[in-house]
């Protein structure tokens, strides 16, 4: 019976994971043509708005829907019906109150924020950004309602639809602004309108599913348990969603501190904006690598909740497996990107500005992947408040280091500040995880010989191909694209092949990877040799 019940749960988590990966790939990918079209200044303007918009999207996608689905699942577990009047109406009121407060704070402080950042032209853009939070209650309630009944499809499809509309509008607007020579600050307005349009499309998709399924909700019910509702929505909804916002929050710190610190470093205001845009080139690539390294962690929480209640003895093995896979995949993405970043910078962004600083920033792929996976595990075993406290410490450290290091070393200082803050967060999260689960050990679970063999082989291959193939400056952009894709695919395959042949992965871990049937043959071949 338990096995039959768990299958829809795992399947639903997998659907959300796949949708999340596709959505994040879209989110990372469109910013590259955006930079190409609008330049570093246009990209700077967009990146001054994007982290705030991203936080609204995360609350509407992960935080609040998770809280609503948890409350609904708890009610149904007691054998009671979900009441429309005493469940959905009060939850909507709570969501509207929380997001209304965020709206008021952001709208009223927009001028102060723009002045502090040193760019008063962002003032009306920040005011408009505040309105996006008013869409959150509608999206979160609809998604949470479906998830409470175990149906993840509406959330997944609405997420993809929202991103497709948002990305399409932003790129089209960027082309229009560039073609007609309009003020580049229109990019900021375009980002907000695109978020509105994406949210409206997501709402239409969710409403369509609602009418299609015609769910019936119990009208009556007991008195509204306001205290548990508010506590769950705030703690599980807002605090737990911080895990999905780690990279966004890091970028928020850059929004407030980087330009003023670059001016203190010695740049003019316009130069500081340009170098902020150059530094922001690294985040789409870091985000893409982090998606590869941490996507499995999204499926952990429902499994953990079930295993925790059943006191499943396999929980430790599953946790170590998740974090070990994050380490291997994120490490490969990080090492490969660092080696070929000079070519990637020219290929994607048309020049090599900031290459060294962005190579340092690339190290955050591994740290953010391990951190997200570790914090997800902590939240899954009940340490929600503690994980939020750790994230707060990391952000304060990032803020302090940005102010101190950027004024001395420019954007290299900001890259180092990101690395140090994520490193501190990662160490603290793993330390607490070790205290909660004494038998847990990250370093002992990693097959170090296989990892070093795979890493060194990939580095040698990438460097060798860069030496053999023509110099970057002599290649057209299309030729550089073909060359980069070739060495990335072959280098990544070589890395993965050696890991598998040297038994870095178990058969169960390989089974969740793409093309698992073909990959498992590499492992079987090694077994036959033995």
The model carries a pTM of 0.87
b/e burial code for range 32-53 (CB count within 10 A of at least 16 → b): bebbebbbbbbbbbbbbbbbbb
The neighbouring-strand residues paired with 83 are 218
Partner residues linked to 218 by β-bridges: 83
Residue 202's φ and ψ, nearest 5 degrees, are -60, -40
DSSP state of 121: G
The rounded distance, in Å, linking the Cα atoms of 122 and 50 is 12
To the nearest 10°, the Cα dihedral for 299, 28, 270, 403? 20
- Residues 6+ positions from 69 with CB-CB distance below 8 Å: 144, 147, 148
pLDDT score at 12: 56
Predicted pLDDT at 47? 94
Residue 418: count other Cβ atoms within 10 Å of its Cβ: 29
Domain residue extents for the chain: 1-224, 245-445, 447-530
Residues 6+ apart with CB under 8 A from 349: 32, 35, 36, 281
Dihedrals phi, psi of 437, to nearest 5 degrees? -125, 85
- Pair of tokens at residue 327: 């380490």
148-182 b/e (C-beta count within 10 Å ≥ 16 → b)? beebbebbbbbbbbbbebbbebbbebbeebbeeee
Distance CA 369, CA 294 (A): 5
- Among 295, 292, 379, CA closest to 332: 292
Nearest CA among 408, 359, 399 for reference residue 252: 399
Place of tokens 């965020």: 102
- Give Cα separations from 475 to 242, 345, 481, 482, 520 (angstroms): 43, 14, 9, 10, 38
Give residue for tokens 């966004």.
248
Quote the CA–CA distance of 21 and 47 in Å, as a whole number.
21
Cβ contact 12:326 at 8 Å: no
Distance CA 522, CA 507 (A): 11
pLDDT value for 301: 46
Closest CA to 402 of 189, 282, 520, 252: 252
Instruction: Give the SS3 label for residue 375.
Output: helix
Question: Residue 500 has which token pair?
Answer: 């598998």
Q: Among 288, 269, 197, 300, which Cα is nearest to 41's?
A: 269
pLDDT value for 187: 95
List Cα–Cα distances, 514 to 14, 294, 298, 466, 524, in angstroms: 13, 15, 17, 28, 17
Tokens at 453, concatenated: 């063999």
3 state SS for 227-283 = HHHHHHHHHHHHHHHHHHHHHHHHHHHHHHHHHHHHHHHCCCHHHHHHHHHHHCCHH
Please provide residue 281's backbone torsions phi and psi, each rounded to the nearest 5 degrees: -60, -30
What tokens appear for 469 in the block?
A: 């193939």
Helix H, strand E, coil C: the string for 46-81 is HHHHHHHHHHHHHHHHHHHHHHHHHHHHHHHHCCCC
Map residue 157 onto helix, strand or coil. helix
Q: Provide the pLDDT for residue 217.
A: 56
Burial of 314 (0-12, 13-18, 19+ CB in 10 A): exposed
Q: Which two tokens stand for residue 355?
A: 């290459």
The token duo for 204 is 């239409």
Residue 485, helix vs strand vs coil:
helix
**pLDDT, tens digit only, all 530 positions of the chain:** 444 444 455 555 556 666 666 777 777 778 889 999 999 999 999 999 999 999 999 899 888 988 888 888 777 777 666 777 778 889 999 999 999 999 999 999 999 999 999 899 999 999 999 999 999 999 999 998 888 777 788 888 998 999 999 999 999 999 999 999 999 999 999 999 999 999 999 999 999 988 887 655 555 556 778 888 888 888 888 877 788 789 999 999 999 999 999 999 999 999 999 999 999 999 989 988 888 777 755 554 444 444 544 444 456 777 777 788 889 989 999 999 999 999 899 888 988 899 999 999 999 999 999 998 888 888 777 777 788 889 999 999 999 999 999 999 999 999 999 999 999 999 999 888 888 888 777 777 788 999 999 999 999 999 998 888 766 556 677 788 888 888 999 999 999 889 988 888 777 667 666 666 666 666 654 443 33
- Compute the distance between CA of residue 400 and CA of residue 182 in angstroms, rounded to an integer: 37
Phi, psi of 83, rounded to the nearest 5 degrees = -95, 130
| H/E element, 434 | helix 411-436
Nearest alpha carbon to residue 390 among 449, 435, 337, 456 = 435
What's the rounded Cα separation, in Å, for the pair 8 and 240?
Answer: 23
Q: What is the Cα–Cα distance from 57 to 223, expressed in whole angstroms? A: 32
Structure tokens at 37: 């079209």
Angle value at C-alpha 327, between 364 and 57, nearest 5 degrees: 55
């Amino acid at each position: 019976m338990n096995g039959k019940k768990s299958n829809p749960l795992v399947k639903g988590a997998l659907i959300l994971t796949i949708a999340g990966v596709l959505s994040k790939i879209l989110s990372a990918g469109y910013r590259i043509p955006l930079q190409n079209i609008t330049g570093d200044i246009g990209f700077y303007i967009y990146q001054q708005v994007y982290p705030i918009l991203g936080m609204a999207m995360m609350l509407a996608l992960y935080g609040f829907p998770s809280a609503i689905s948890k409350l609904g699942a708890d009610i149904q577990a007691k054998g009671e019906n979900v009441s429309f009047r005493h469940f959905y109406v009060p939850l909507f009121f709570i969501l509207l109150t929380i997001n209304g407060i965020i709206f008021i704070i952001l709208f009223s402080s927009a001028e102060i924020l723009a002045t502090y950042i040193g760019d008063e032209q962002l003032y009306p853009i920040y005011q408009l950004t505040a309105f996006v939070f008013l869409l959150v209650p509608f999206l979160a309630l609809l998604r949470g309602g479906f998830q409470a009944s175990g149906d993840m499809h509406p959330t997944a499809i609405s997420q993809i639809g929202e991103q497709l509309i948002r990305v399409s509008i932003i790129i089209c607007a960027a082309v229009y602004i560039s073609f007609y020579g309009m003020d580049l600050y229109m990019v900021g307005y375009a980002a907000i309108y695109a978020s509105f349009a994406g949210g409206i499309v997501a709402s239409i998709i969710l409403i369509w599913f609602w009418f299609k399924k015609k769910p019936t909700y119990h009208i009556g019910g007991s008195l509204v348990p306001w205290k548990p509702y508010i506590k769950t929505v705030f703690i599980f909804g807002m605090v737990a969603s911080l895990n999905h916002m780690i990279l966004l929050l890091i970028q928020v710190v850059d929004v407030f501190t980087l330009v003023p610190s670059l001016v203190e470093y010695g740049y003019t205001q316009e130069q500081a904006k340009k170098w902020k845009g150059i530094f922001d080139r690294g985040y789409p690539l870091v985000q893409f690598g982090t998606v590869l390294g941490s996507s499995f962690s999204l499926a952990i929480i429902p499994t953990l909740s079930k295993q925790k209640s059943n006191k499943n003895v396999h929980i430790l093995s599953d946790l170590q497996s998740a974090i070990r896979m994050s380490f291997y995949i994120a490490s490969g993405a990080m090492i490969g990107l660092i080696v070929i970043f000079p070519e990637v910078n020219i290929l994607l962004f048309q020049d090599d500005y900031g290459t060294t600083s962005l190579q340092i920033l690339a190290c955050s792929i591994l740290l953010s992947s391990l951190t997200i996976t570790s914090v997800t595990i902590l939240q899954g075993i009940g340490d929600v408040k503690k994980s939020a406290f750790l994230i707060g410490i990391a952000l304060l450290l990032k803020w302090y280091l940005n102010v101190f290091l950027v004024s001395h070393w420019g954007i290299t200082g900001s890259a180092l500040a990101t690395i140090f803050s994520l490193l501190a967060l990662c160490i603290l999260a793993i330390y607490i995880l070790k205290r909660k689960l004494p038998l847990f050990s990250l370093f002992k679970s990693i097959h170090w010989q296989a990892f070093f063999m795979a890493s060194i082989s990939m580095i040698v291959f990438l460097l060798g191909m860069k030496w053999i193939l023509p110099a970057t400056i002599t290649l057209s952009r299309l030729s550089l694209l073909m060359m980069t894709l070739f060495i990335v695919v072959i280098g990544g395959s070589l890395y993965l092949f050696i890991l598998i042949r040297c038994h870095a992965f178990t058969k169960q871990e390989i089974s969740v990877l793409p093309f698992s049937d073909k990959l498992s043959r590499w492992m079987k071949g090694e077994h036959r040799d033995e």
